């Protein structure tokens, strides 16, 4: 396939990209090859710092990625939650190595923003609504990852069709649309709504570079939008997952859970325990990221396992085709 023409936005200008496509950092999914492929194809690849443990492995992988990409940008996701005891060192290593982008999630980004200020590292923050968006903007964030309903993992509760224009009206920062971004049509729609780029997650799981199980990839290929269920039973936070038998068994009515969840304090404690179990616990437990398939509602438009360069270039080419095909 011939490389498509560039697409210029505030994000491509900021990071010197060909296309405003960021490969979303996916826990236990994003690997070195995926990051390299997205960035080398003209987008920006990212990975969660927690995917490479212990901390010395994270530093080694980061340096190897940087060396392979040379001047091309990449990014790291840092979970700013107390349970992530390595977060300060993860940040220090990223700044020392002049990582172009850090994405924060699941907590306050204040410390990350303060320590990155004045360096070559930009900080974008996950947000699902105006209150948090205004807060991180006031702290000095460089951009927002706007997570709408239907996104894989921890999606928001509001459709991007409503959320993006609303945030754009109140917050003057570059915005990346997250949720059901899987092709050129969704890229065009996101930019029309006011986004400056897109977060591509689920589409990249069904790629040749992803090292997840074939069962996971096939589940994405075979699923439709109605096969995605939103639940907090996996890690304590509402998230979108493919409705597999394993997940359905866990979601069956449970008297003890129903009783305990009536108390707000107990419910919060249960949520934190589930989050700690999913992020830091054994992969052999009954429900974990190893045996539960996170995915967004955009699965309905994914029907092939492709290499990442083809995915990125087809998305850019599809954007150009759709834009030209719009009624005048």
**How confident is the model over 102-141, as pLDDT tens digits?**
999 888 999 999 999 999 999 999 999 999 999 999 999 9
Q: Which residues contact 72 (CB under 8 A, 6 or more apart)?
A: 39, 40
Tell me the pTM: 0.88
pLDDT of 279 above 90: no
Predicted local confidence at residue 275, as pLDDT: 52
Mean pLDDT of 283-297: 70
If one counts the domains in the chain, the total is 2
pLDDT digits (tens, 9 = 90+) for 204-230: 999 999 999 999 999 999 999 999 988
pLDDT of 311 above 70: yes
- Is 4 within a domain? no
Portion of the chain with pLDDT greater than 70, in percent? 86
pLDDT digits (tens, 9 = 90+) for 130-186: 999 999 999 999 999 999 999 998 888 999 999 999 999 999 999 999 999 999 999
Q: Could you tell me which of 40, 320, 77 has the C-alpha nearest to residue 201?
A: 77
- The answer on 236 and 87 residing in a single domain is no
3-state secondary structure of 302: coil
> Domain limits at 120?
10-211+302-320
- The answer on 265 and 171 residing in a single domain is no
Long-range Cβ contacts of 208-215 (<8 Å, 24+ apart): 208/305, 208/306, 208/307, 208/308, 209/31, 209/33, 209/34, 209/37, 209/307, 209/308, 210/29, 210/31, 210/34, 211/31, 211/33, 212/28, 212/29
- Is 260 within a domain? yes
pLDDT digits (tens, 9 = 90+) for 233-256: 776 677 899 988 777 776 665 544
Mean pLDDT of 279-297: 65
- The answer on 274 and 142 residing in a single domain is no
pLDDT of 268 above 90: no
CATH code of 160's domain: 3.20.20.70
pLDDT digits (tens, 9 = 90+) for 73-109: 999 999 988 778 888 999 999 999 999 999 998 889 9
Beta strands in 116-261 (DSSP E): 122-127, 143-147, 175-178, 197-200, 228-231, 239-242
- The answer on 121 and 28 residing in a single domain is yes
- The answer on 239 and 98 residing in a single domain is no
Predicted local confidence at residue 280, as pLDDT: 47
- Is 288 within a domain? no
pLDDT of 271 above 90: no
pLDDT digits (tens, 9 = 90+) for 34-77: 999 999 999 999 999 999 989 999 999 999 999 999 999 999 99
Mean pLDDT of 286-311: 86
Confidence of residue 290 (pLDDT cuts 50, 70, 90): low
């Amino acid at each position: 396939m011939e490389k498509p023409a560039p697409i210029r936005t505030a994000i491509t200008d900021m990071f010197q990209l060909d296309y405003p496509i960021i490969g979303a950092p996916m826990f236990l999914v994003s690997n070195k090859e995926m990051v390299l492929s997205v960035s080398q194809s003209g987008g920006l690849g990212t990975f969660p710092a927690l995917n490479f443990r212990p901390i010395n492995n994270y530093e080694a992988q980061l340096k190897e990625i940087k060396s392979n990409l040379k001047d091309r940008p990449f990014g790291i996701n840092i979970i700013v939650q107390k349970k992530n005891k390595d977060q300060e060192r993860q940040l220090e290593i990223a700044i020392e190595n002049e990582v172009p982008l850090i994405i924060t999630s699941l907590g306050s980004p204040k410390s990350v923003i303060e320590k990155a200020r004045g360096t070559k590292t930009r900080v974008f923050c996950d947000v699902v609504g105006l209150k948090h968006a205004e807060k991180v903007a006031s702290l000095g964030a460089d951009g927002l990852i706007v997570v709408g309903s239907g996104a894989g993992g921890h999606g928001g509760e509001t459709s991007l069709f409503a959320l993006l224009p609303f945030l754009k009206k109140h917050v003057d920062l570059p915005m990346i649309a997250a949720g059901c971004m899987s092709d050129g049509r969704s890229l065009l729609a996101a930019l029309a709504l006011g986004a400056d780029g897109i977060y591509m997650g689920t589409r990249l799981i069904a790629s040749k570079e992803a090292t997840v199980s074939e069962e996971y990839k096939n589940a994405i290929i075979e699923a439709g939008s109605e096969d995605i269920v939103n639940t907090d039973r996996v890690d304590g936070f509402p998230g979108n997952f493919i409705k597999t038998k394993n997940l359905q068994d866990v979601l069956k009515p449970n008297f003890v859970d129903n009783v305990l969840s009536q108390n707000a304090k107990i419910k919060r404690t249960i949520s934190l325990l589930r989050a700690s179990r999913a992020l830091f616990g054994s992969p052999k437990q009954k429900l974990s990221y190893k045996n539960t398939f996170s995915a967004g509602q955009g699965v309905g438009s994914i029907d092939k396992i492709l290499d990442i360069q083809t995915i990125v270039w087809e998305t850019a080419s599809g954007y150009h085709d759709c834009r030209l095909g719009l009624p005048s």
